[in-house]
Chains A and B, each alone.
Chain A
């Protein structure tokens, strides 16, 4: 069974731009969570989607948003990019909300 896939793998943007990252969960998984990983803050939870609805949200500004489609694929969007948004963005999927989360390889975002 294919794992979690994320596209693109690498992205370079400039301040003020916006970006959309995509995540395809493991087939049959219905819950998708997003995390930000930086050297300074470690791994931090962004939000979780289940059945096309955001169920949980971390402590990030409103510039960070996401959505989930009927096939469980998810996207996250960051608007008005700041230098501090440079990070590895990780997507994880699980069968249901209480199950083990399996991570994708991440999207490395660099903001110049």
Chain B
């Protein structure tokens, strides 16, 4: 039969623009969230993480915002560059019990940066 793949959201931006990638997470008990970047042919690369006792965390050119009320996570990339083109995944984890070491991933968002 015909295979059906995930239809990933896409975001196209111009070089130098700011990008915002959104993610809705599923488990209200999750307390650790991570953003990964995956380029073609490579494994996911860690970008930034945030724990549930924070609502904002900044890194180099990236900011993660966490809204626990609506279970929403966003990744902001400042001055987006062509090298930022990739698939971006959010992942969640619930510490404790049987959830240690298990990340639950979102479907991913394809970011394309045009020069």
Binding site for B on A (CB under 8 A): 4, 31, 33, 35, 39-45, 48, 50, 55-56, 58, 90, 92, 94, 97-98, 100-106
B101 partner, pick from A39, A55, A90, A103, beta carbons under 8 A: A55
Number of interface residues of B (CB under 8 A): 28
Cα(A77)–Cα(B5), bound, Å: 25
Q: Are B101 and A56 in contact (CB under 8 A)?
A: yes
Which of the candidate stretches B12-20, B39-47, B63-71 sits at the interface with the other chain? Answer: B39-47
Given A42-B108, A45-B104: A103 and B4 interface contact (C-beta under 8 Å): no
Majority secondary structure, B binding face: loop
**From B36, B46, B101, residue with most partner A Cβ within 10 Å:** B101
Q: Are B100 and A55 in contact (CB under 8 A)?
A: yes
Given A39-B6, A103-B36: A31 and B42 interface contact (C-beta under 8 Å): no
Residues of chain B contacted by A104 (CB below 8 angstroms): 43
Q: Are B32 and A98 in contact (CB under 8 A)?
A: yes
